[in-house]
Structures are given as C-alpha cells and as structure tokens.
Amino acid sequence: MGDPLSNLDPVEAWKPAGDADWNLKWAAHLYRRAAFGFPAVDGKASAWQLLQQAVARGRDACIDQLLAGGEGQDEFNELMDSLGRQISSRRVARFQDPQHEKLQGWWLYRMFYTPHPLLERCTLFWHDHFATSVAKVGKPALMFQQNQLLRQHALGKFGPMLSGISHDPAMLVWLDSNSNVKGRANENFAREIMELFSLGVGNYTEKDIREAARAFTGWGTTGGQFVFNKALHDAGPKKVLGESGQLGGDDIVRIILKQPATARFLVRKLYQEFVSEAASPPDALIEPLIDEFRKADYDVRGVLRTMLRSRLFNSSHAYRQRIKSPVEYVLGLIRAFGAKTSPKRLAAAMDGLGQTLFAPPNVKGWDGGPAWLNSATLVARHNLAAKLLGGDGSDPRDRIAPAVIAKNHVGDDAGKQLDFLLNLLLTGDVSNAARDRLSVFATKPSKPDSQTNVIRDITHTILVMPEYQLA
C-alpha cells in the first residue's frame, strides 16, 4: 500500500472543515492540540461545561477565540510578568537550586491559568525549537527574558522572532557566542541557526556556516545584555547562501528568510506539532501551506488558522496521531478536574516524566513522539496520576476528586459516572471490551461506602491507558 497522505488532494485537504460534523469528539481534539486539553480556565464552569459550550459555539468561533485569546489577558500578563521577574532575579548558585524549580512552576501555573492557552502552547513549541538550557546558561533571569521574547512572537511573524533570538543573551551564552571573534570564529550559532532554527540539513553548505560565523563575530553578552564589539567583528567580504558582501549578523538573518527552504522547514515542524507526527507529509501536500506562509511573511497565526480549520486536521489522518508531551499530560489531567495542586510540586515531577522546562537536553530539544514513553516515564506517569488522585496517601492539597466531579454532573449512578469519565478524558475513545471491564468494576464495589475509591481507581486506570497518552 502507498502512503495514504500521497492520495490526498492538497487543495481539498486545507479547505475549512465547516461545522457539519462539529461535535464533542472534534472539539476535544482541537483543545488537546491547541490548549492543553480544554478551553481556557475561567473559574465559573467545569472543563466538561466548557467543552459543551465549545460545541455550541461552533468550530470557527472556537478557533478564532483560541487565536485571539480570552478576556483579562492584560491583567493576567501583568501579574505573571511581575512574578516571573521576581522569581528569576534572585541569585542561585547552581541549576539544582530551588529557584529554578520555582521558575518552572511559574510557567506551569501560567500555562494552566492563562486566558490565551494557544499562545502558551506555541511558546512551549518555540522553546523546544530554539532549545536553550538554564543548566548551561546558569542565570534564571536570562531564561525568563528569553521566555518573554518567545511569547511576544509565538503567534506573530517568524522573522522578528529569529532576529530577536539571534540577539538573545541566553541563546548567545548557550551557543558560546562570546568566543566568536575575528580570526577565531566559533561556528556554533551559525550552524544552529541554519540546521535547527530555519533551513534544515541539506539546505546549506559547510562554507555557508563558516562564512556566517564570521558575520556573527563580535556578537556577545556583557552583564546579561547583548553587545556588539566592533573590534572583534570580521568586517571582510563574505558569501553566504549565494549572497556576497561585507555581511553582518543581521544580513545572515535576512538572507535566511529569503530562502524557500525556510518556509518548508518551519511548516513541516508546525505540521508535526499540531497536525500529526505519525507520518511525514509529502511535499505536495504541504505546498499550499508553504506558499501561504511565505506570502504572509511567515505569519504563524495565519498558518495555524489554516491548519486547525482544515479538513485534514479534522480527519483520521490527524486524530489521535500525536503522543502527549509530559506538559500536555500533566496540564490536561489537571484541567480536566479543575485541580488546585501546587505548580511548584508539579515542576518537581517533570524531570521524571522527561520534560524539565527551561532545560531541554541538547540543542535539538526534546526528541518527542515515541521517545516520551519508555519504562521509566510510563511509571512516572502512573505514579503522578496516583499522587494527584490521592491514592498514595500524598499531600491532600495535591489531590483531585473525580468521584465528586462525576457525581456533580451525572448523579450517583456508577454506570453514568463511568461514562462521564470516559467522555471527559477519552471522548469515548475506548474499546467495548475495555469499557465492559471498567463497568464491572464500577458497578460492584467491594463495600457499600467504597464508591469514591472505586471511581478514583477507575480514573487512575483511564489516565494510564494507551489511549489517554495520545493527543
């Protein structure tokens, strides 16, 4: 059999899906991909009620709101920016100090409560794309500053973001730019801006990297600020990607943005992140998106709107075709039950799950996909779910109460409670055999007063099922 994606008409694939088949299944699909599982927390409605409201609003209205964000953004951003500056400005001696954990908790809190979840979702995507680790940078203040830069441009134009990251102190420290000087060019940043940030392997030469490194000489940091040291800059003629002259770093960014390979590379990464990681799309299928992206001057919001509205996104080619990252897993289950657990304590668990915020493992970022799941991380997901459900005698402040939430929505009937949980957490995506086994357990508690514990154990079972690991 050939690649099913090759049989799709590219023009038809990216046409809007419309509302004809808009229902709970596709609403939940949209929010798993774009909002950590559920619409923005508003403090007035449960996750289940928010999903029902989304179904009533219609697909396009939901996507428009995701792209624009909800009410109260200015006040929320002002508060979170102030807290982030306070946390990141405190002195720390090493990466393992609690201050780093507090900064990670700050971002988890922001992702959970934000009125604009798609913006945070994209900030996380760009954090992985421009992978930079505090383990080497050492200063939380620089990581916070970079995080703010990524958020500023996460749904905007890629050009200003690439320019900003090339001047970003955390990135310059991460890629050793202070040692990139005239006569002894360090190629780290020049290589990564082409290989990982814009063009992709095969779309530049080693000579392009060497010449670009010369163009970036003299770019560095002093006191946590970007500086250009003219005395350390190689002002001689250079030739990069076919363009010659006395090129500087800003010229390299401009030249990179002119390359057709840049739009193709970025669209492929956005496709993998938001549409499907299960199969690499043929060039012909994504060509309409690439063309749109270039014509719109690399407008991320525009290309995401096309993706999320498309027939392809709302089809079996995309449905459950991604593995949840640890952040998606954690925030999804917390959002589902409206829990008030401590973000700092959640941050402490992220390392075991395989995704420590502000500390991707290398310049390529997290491998993602199947690499999220192995014997160690699956056990970590199992244990975290048990902890949050209170099944291990843990701190009651961390607990969620599925039995209470199920009862509030559907009453005391155990079968209805089971169906509610399966719809809330899996949109009903479970085999008849699995549901039957859970049903026997749900309707036959060992003691008359143990229904709460039974529902807790059923919820834990759902949270570690293979189906729940898929976004």
Sign of CA dihedral 43, 63, 150, 336: positive
Determine the 3-state secondary structure of 220 from DSSP. strand
Cβ contact 72:40 at 8 Å: no
Residue 215 near residue 243 (C-beta atoms within 8 A):
no
Whether the Cβ atoms of residue 347 and residue 101 lie closer than 8 Å to each other: yes
SS3 235: coil
Distances (CA, A) of 392 to 299, 398, 399, 403: 47, 11, 10, 17
Contact call for residues 127 and 147 (beta carbons, < 8 A): yes
pLDDT of residue 2: 54
- Which uninterrupted H or E stretch holds 228? strand 225-228
Q: In the prediction, which pLDDT does 93 show?
A: 39
Strand partners, 245: 238
Handedness of CA 109, 111, 112, 113 (dihedral sign): positive
The position carrying tokens 């459950």 is 320
Q: What letter represents residue 42's amino acid?
A: D
User: What was the pLDDT predicted at 1?
Assistant: 42
* pLDDT at residue 89, as a whole number: 83
Dist CA 243 CA 467 (whole Å): 50
- Distance (Å, rounded) from C-alpha 315 to C-alpha 310? 9
Amino acid at site 164: G
Residues pairing with 240 in the sheet: 243
Which H/E stretch holds residue 225? Answer: strand 225-228
Burial of 19 (0-12, 13-18, 19+ CB in 10 A): middle
Write out 298-341 in H/E/C secondary structure: CEHHHHHHHHHHECCCCCCCCCCCCECCHHHHHHHHHHHHCCCC
Per the CB < 8 A criterion, the answer to whether 284 and 10 are in contact is yes
Rounded to whole angstroms, the Cα distance separating 229 from 234 reads: 10
User: In a structure prediction context, what are the per-residue pLDDT tens digits for the chain, which is 471 residues long?
Assistant: 457 899 999 999 999 998 889 999 999 999 999 999 999 887 789 999 999 999 999 999 999 999 999 999 999 999 999 999 998 887 543 444 555 788 999 999 999 999 999 999 999 999 999 999 999 999 999 999 999 999 999 999 999 999 999 999 999 999 999 999 999 999 999 999 999 999 999 999 999 999 999 999 999 999 999 999 999 999 999 999 999 999 999 999 999 999 999 999 999 999 999 999 999 999 999 999 999 999 999 999 999 999 999 999 999 999 999 999 999 999 999 999 988 778 878 888 899 999 999 999 999 999 999 999 999 999 999 999 998 988 544 555 556 889 999 999 999 998 999 999 999 999 999 999 999 999 988 877 665 558 888 899 999 999 999 999 999
What are the tokens at 227? 């500086």
pLDDT score recorded for residue 368: 96
Q: How far apart are CA 361 and CA 220, in angstroms?
A: 23
pTM of the model: 0.95
Structure tokens at 9: 């008409």
| CB neighbour list of residue 351: distance below 8 Å, 6 or more residues apart | none
Contact 249, 220 (CB under 8 A): no
Location of structure tokens 């199992």: 382
Residue 360 sits at the vertex; the CA angle it makes with 356 and 361, to the nearest 5 degrees, is 110
Q: Where are the domains of the chain?
A: 326-469
Q: Are strands 219-222 and 238-240 parallel, antiparallel or unpaired?
A: unpaired
The residues with which 428 forms a beta bridge, in sequence order, are none
- Please report, for residues 322, 348, 392, 426, the alpha-carbon distance to residue 333 in angstroms, rounded to integers and kept in the order given: 17, 17, 17, 11
Residue environment code for 437-463, b if the CB has 16+ CB neighbours within 10 A, otherwise e = ebbebbeebeeeeebebbbbbbbbbbb
| DSSP three-state, residue 287 | helix
Task: Read off the tokens for 350.
Answer: 């992220």
What is the chain's percent helix, strand, coil content, to nearest 5? 60, 5, 35
Would you state the pLDDT for residue 3? 73
